[in-house]
Structure 1
Amino acid sequence: MEQLGAYILTFVENGGLFAPILFIGFHLLRPLLFIPVIFICVSGGILFGTLAGTIYSLIGITLSSLLFYYIVPVAPNTFKKLIHLRKRLMNDLELTPYQIAFLRLIPFIHFHLLSLCLLEMSTNFKEYAKFSIFSNIPIAFVYTMVGQWVSTLSVTYMLLCLMMFGLFIIHFRRKENIIKWKEFFQTVG
């Protein structure tokens, strides 16, 4: 999967004037290829920079959300599975568009599950489109900015950041001491 994503991004990078169109098209193909939204947004920051990458990612993510609006009712089995998943994970929790915009920033939450929440709270297509654009702005901006930041780092700084992350992982690990029963209740004598 990673190789496919790298191949497609290389194709987009060499697309010349058509690179933005290819990049937006890649956003539309993303759900079919099971590639996370974050990967594409970070790639947009690397390929196009923060401003252009954010605009292209916002257009691509919004078109993907709008396509979801029309495709989900046509695929009733998928729609039922998404509703079942939402009920199982969120019970009867009512989310606001602000909450959904924040939840989209969390990498492991399914993008179209949150689109389903927007679909359920909106009364028509216009309202769904407005909610989608609003909730897509933070994810497009933040992760494109991360991509731009990563592309400007030198190898030394990248290694330093990786070492810092490694130290944080070690520092915040679970700390347990296992003492055997016999050692704890050692008899004196």
Structure 2
Amino acid sequence: MSQSMTMLFAFLESSGFWAPFVFLLFHSIRQFLFIPVAVLCVIGGILFGTILGTIYSLTGLTISCILFYFLYQSMPKLFNKIHRMKDKWIGNRLSFTPGQIALLRCIPFMQYNLLSLILLERKKNLFSYTKQSFLTNIPVAVLYTLFGQSISRLSPTLIIIILCSMTIMFYMLREKQIYMKWKEFFPEKAA
């Protein structure tokens, strides 16, 4: 995998004027090539700098989400595996807020398309889904573009502090709902 990422980096670097367009293309087809989001954002930060790398990564991630939307609308049975993963990991009752989805997208081992599916179930039409996708992609694009190069040099203590603070933020951003069954609310009278 390291060799293929090196080849990707070299290819993008040698693209010259076309590098931003090739970078956006890689972001768009990233999910089919099994390239992690974090890797492309880090490469964008190295090649284009912080500001342009963030803009290109954010644009590419949003294009990727729009592509996911159209593929899901046209071939819903193809996404049964993602639905099964969602049912297994999350269940049907739990729903995430956009803030929670934005935080989960920053975690490298979270399945990006699973989070896109959760967002798609919250926002059914294209405009609101695209808007929420754009907003939830901002933290991941900024985080990995800014700190992607130095993430491997962080101390284990700092990594634990970051994960704990993200867990606390995840809990604080939750949707506050109470599910109560009919029998719990209206208990049956003893005979």
TM-score, normalised via structure 2 length: 0.76
Deviation at 1:5, TM superposition (A): 2.3
1:23 is the counterpart of 2:26:
no
Contact 1:28 1:63 in 2 (8 A): yes
In structure 2, C-alpha distance between the alignment counterparts of 1:5 and 1:27, rounded to whole Å: 14
Contact 1:104 1:111 in 2 (8 A): yes
Instruction: Work out the percentage of aligned pairs sharing the same amino acid.
Output: 45
- What do you get for the CA RMSD once the two structures are aligned? 2.2
Match of 2:141? 140
Pick closer, same or farther for the CA change 1:33–1:114 going to 2, 3 Å: same
Deviation at 1:20, TM superposition (A): 0.7
In structure 2, C-alpha distance between the alignment counterparts of 1:133 and 1:113, rounded to whole Å: 16
Contact 1:73 1:79 in 2 (8 A): no
Q: Deviations along 1:2-21, whole A, 9 cap, x unmatched? A: 32222122111111111111
Amino acid at match of 1:129: T
Match of 2:76? 76
In structure 1, C-alpha distance between the alignment counterparts of 2:9 and 2:101, rounded to whole Å: 28
Match of 1:6? 6
Amino acid at match of 1:20: P
1:53 is the counterpart of 2:53:
yes
1:111 is the counterpart of 2:112:
yes
Amino acid at match of 2:142: F
Match of 1:35? 35
Match of 2:102? 101
Amino acid at match of 1:85: M
Contact 1:104 1:114 in 2 (8 A): yes
Match of 1:124? 125
Amino acid at match of 1:19: A
Deviation at 1:146, TM superposition (A): 1.5
Q: Larger radius of gyration, structure 1 or 2?
A: 1
Q: Deviations along 1:41-84, whole A, 9 cap, x unmatched? A: 01111111110000000000000000000012323333222111
Gaps of 5+ in 2: 161-191
In structure 1, C-alpha distance between the alignment counterparts of 2:145 and 2:58, rounded to whole Å: 10
In structure 1, C-alpha distance between the alignment counterparts of 2:16 and 2:114, rounded to whole Å: 34
In structure 2, C-alpha distance between the alignment counterparts of 1:80 and 1:23, rounded to whole Å: 29
Match of 1:174? none
Secondary structure at the aligned position of 1:49 is classed as helix
- Structure 1 segments (4+ residues) deviating >4 Å: none
Amino acid at match of 2:79: F
Contact 1:12 1:19 in 2 (8 A): yes
In structure 1, C-alpha distance between the alignment counterparts of 2:36 and 2:17, rounded to whole Å: 25
Deviation at 1:132, TM superposition (A): 0.2
